[in-house]
Amino acid sequence: MSSMLEDKDLKSIQEVRAKIELAHKAFLKYKHYTQEQVDQIIDHVAAVARANAQHLAQLAVEETGYGNVQDKVAKNLLNSDLLHKAIRPLKTAGIIREDSDQGLVEIAEPVGIVGAILPTTNPTSTAFYKILISLKGRNGIVLSPHPRAVRCTCEAASLLARAAVEAGAPEGIVQCLNNASLPGTNELMKHKLTSVILSTGGAGIVRAAYSSGKPALGVGPGNVAVLIEASANVDSAIASVVQGKSFDYGTVCSSEQTVVAEETNREAILTALKENRAFLCDAQQCKALQTLLIKPNFAINPDCVGQAPQKIAKMAGFDVPDNTRILVVELEGVGREHPMSAEKLSPVLAVYFVRDFAESLNACESILNFGGRGHTSVIYSHNDERIREFGFRMPAFRILVNTPSPQGSTGITTNVFPAMTLGCGAIAGNITSDNVSPMHLINIKRIAYHVRDPETAFTSVEAKAYFAGESIPKPKVNLLENRNSTSISLSNNPEGDAQPDIRDAVHRYLNQRGISVSSSTTETSTIPPMSPTTAPMNAAESVVDNFLSKRHPEVSSQLEATTPIEASPSPPAPKVTVVPFVSEDDVRQAIHRGKKIYIDENTIVTPAASDLGTAHDVLVQTD
């Protein structure tokens, strides 16, 4: 038994079970706290977090090797200063809304235990964020750090846990796993006492959260497209883009990935990039960077994530000046044939020049569909009409205007909710498109008073007839309102004489076949003739043809000339084409069109495409 306890995975699972029990025991007390008690705890926890922002930023960089201290301090302050200011006024305990006129009382209920999965790129700032929003909702929390960021994450959690207890929270309300492992994380997500999962990390761990059987708040990947529209001030736009892209060496999921601009602005943009200490790579350097950064399956090389531009350039085989802030590569297109148009999680920015605004929209949309659906996009413009057009068109739920993307998407430079978990909506398989807040970690019960009798709640004619005990009136539908219909209606003939309607139908039938029929005793039909058709005859048409062939041989000869006797041959079966590469967007388009994608042993299928394609039976393996 003692040898089994030495197994790291078993120790991790045992630690999860023990710590979730402790957190749940504390939660059973904490869920009865008043709003005043909760806010007192939040105030103290945020203050301790701010006081340790510098220390924990240094610890995170030392342990993970990602990003830089200065920008990690800013992230820590975002989640202890700005976040605290945003959540402080929120009502999350007791009665949160009462409307006597409507007869409604809303009461906040905590969800319970939050299973928090943390990333390696933003470990301490994400710990601040998830602990604060969980405590604000009167929940317990168990944090599962990334294996490469255990020490700094657990240090942050320990400091904030002690602060919570000092301010009156029950002992054990905040827990962090010291023996992080994948089996331990899976145990946390599936444990019976876990109420909801708050997951930040790679696509695999987010998918695992959604597959756990528990309610989950996860995020999709970001591949942020940035449009510099013709009305933008190029100098200020590029300065803003470089500020965002260089922030913490590109580790934020909402960091800029590709700038799209019109060809007429090429020289101005390239000049502005140089002035902001961006290094413009030549064709050979671009190819070397692509080989280094993006793997054949389109995964990002983890050795390049969050590294300084000088280090990445040296890894790719060339040198750049010491003051270089970002590396820039020019694209010839976007999508799977141009791997550098994907997310890069590093201070490497792609630029793509197009002819006009319409092509700019197409390019930005393609970039987002190539691995960033639902996340974030940016436009620099002073044309409100085009800003709105961009916003309506882009498949992203954060449309930022004239601001660096990491700072804008997280609420530093905009009024979106300050957050480190940015939902990407149903188009990315997420439950929400919001920046996740404490309001996502509470449930709301409603006391609803009787305010009306059933018969007064409805206003339609049908409802009034129902409550009066009468038959619901049938709808009055004129079938001839559809002028392409061949149905015969008697409603226009109150005398009950169906002959004019039948005559019109026969005229229409004959006109359909290009036959002109006139009579001195008949009026011209008011129904316009339908276009000739080659559709097979139905039973009624056969009767009319048979009748006319006996009574009017001259008409019969015209019918034989106009009515097809053979159906067109069936088209040949489509040829199966095996594709060399399948992305998530390819699968989504196939699902939308009801198509299959044929692959063989040489086809490269991205992990997200494989999961989605298997779930919807889209991928067909060929010999």
Q: Sheet holding 174-176: strands in order across?
A: 174-176, 140-144, 113-117, 194-199, 216-217
- With the C-alpha atoms ordered 111, 113, 115, 121, is the resulting torsion angle positive or negative? positive
Give the residue among 113, 116, 130, 137 at the shortest CA–CA distance from 209: 116
Give the residue among 350, 334, 184 at the shortest CA–CA distance from 258: 350
Query: Which residues participate in catalysis according to the annotation?
Result: 253
Give the helix/strand (H/E) hosting 268.
Answer: helix 266-275
CA 270/CA 279 separation, integer angstroms: 10
CA 373/CA 351 separation, integer angstroms: 19
Contact between 79 and 125 under an 8 Å Cβ cutoff? The reply is yes
CA trace torsion 68, 70, 72, 75 (10° rounding) = -150
Identify residue 301 by its one-letter amino acid code. N
Burial 159-175 (b: 16+ CB within 10 A, else e): bbbebbbebebbebbbb
Q: What are phi and psi of 280, to 5 degrees?
A: -90, 115
CA 331/CA 350 separation, integer angstroms: 6
Give the helix/strand (H/E) hosting 270.
Answer: helix 266-275
Give the residue among 348, 346, 343, 347 at the shortest CA–CA distance from 375: 343
Token readout for 592 is: 């939308």
Q: Return left, alpha or beta for 225; rule: phi > 0 is left, psi -120 to 50 is alpha, else beta.
A: beta
Give the residue among 210, 348, 371 at the shortest CA–CA distance from 289: 348
Contact between 324 and 377 under an 8 Å Cβ cutoff? The reply is no
